[in-house]
């Protein structure tokens, strides 16, 4: 199996002004492409070459740091692109999803605050996740390119929403103002995809 860089469903500029086109172009064509190419090179002579990315992630804790970092980088970015939507197509969560979030966090404001606080408190590079764990929604963060599918991470579970807080994801536009990047992120979340992820995760757990 050779992993491929996925085709984006929107143009680099479609997320502006929340994420600028130049950042998207570099993020996708340089960073994500590098993780993809490195992963293929690292597994081509191993027994992992015919595994799915999820299977590779689940055994990454016993593999080399290179396989862990690049399999995570490949998967995380695939996931991230899918939960973003062009600025002009933004819509709010459905009432059904609101109800699930309210049940787990009290209200939508509390959810956004906890997710934002977790994003701001992620020291250095990493990701912030909303996950399904034991049929509950939980928020957590992972360092570097780790993710909830890997064993032994803080937010082990099934991710339904994720935010890249590596500086390369926002530095050209926001410099050191991570909080502004996080605030803009809410304007381009594809809540329909988040709900699909949630439904898929809860079905898998049954």
Domains with residue ranges and CATH for the chain: 20-84 (1.10.287.990), 89-205 (3.55.40.20)
pLDDT of residue 1: 61
pLDDT tens, residue by residue, 41-50: 999 989 899 9
What are the strands, taking DSSP E only, across 34-192? 126-133, 136-143, 158-164
Q: Could you read off the pLDDT of 6-25 as tens digits, one per residue?
A: 999 999 999 999 999 999 99
Q: How far is CA 3 from CA 51, 54, 141, 145, in A?
A: 10, 12, 25, 17
- Listed in sequence order, the residues at least 6 apart from 18 whose beta carbon sits closer than 8 Å to its beta carbon are 87, 184, 185, 187, 188
E-strand spans in the chain? Answer: 126-133, 136-143, 158-164
- Paired tokens of 187: 């304007």
The model's pTM: 0.95
Chain centroid, CA 26 distance in Å: 17
Residue 152, pLDDT score: 86
**CA distances in angstroms from 179 to 26, 119, 132, 163, listed in the order given:** 21, 8, 25, 12
Q: Which is more confidently placed, 135 or 166?
A: 166
């Amino acid at each position: 199996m050779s992993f491929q860089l996925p085709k984006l469903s929107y143009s680099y500029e479609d997320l502006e002004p929340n994420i600028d086109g130049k950042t998207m172009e570099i993020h996708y064509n340089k960073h994500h492409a590098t993780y993809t190419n490195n992963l293929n090179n690292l597994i081509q002579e191993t027994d992992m070459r015919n595994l799915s990315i999820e299977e590779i992630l689940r055994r990454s804790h016993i593999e080399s740091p290179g396989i862990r970092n690049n399999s995570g980088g490949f998967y995380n970015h695939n996931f991230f692109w899918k939960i973003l939507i062009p600025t002009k197509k933004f819509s709010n969560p459905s009432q059904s999803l609101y109800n699930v979030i309210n049940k787990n966090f009290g209200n939508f404001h509390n959810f956004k605050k906890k997710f934002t606080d977790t994003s701001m408190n992620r020291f250095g590079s990493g990701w912030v996740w909303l996950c399904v764990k034991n049929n509950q929604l939980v928020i957590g963060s992972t360092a570097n390119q780790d993710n909830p599918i890997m064993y032994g991470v803080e937010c082990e579970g099934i991710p339904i929403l994720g935010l890249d807080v590596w500086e390369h994801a926002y530095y050209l536009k926001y410099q050191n103002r991570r909080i502004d990047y996080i605030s803009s992120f809410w304007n381009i979340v594809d809540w329909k995809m988040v709900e699909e992820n949630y439904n898929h995760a809860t079905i898998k757990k049954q």
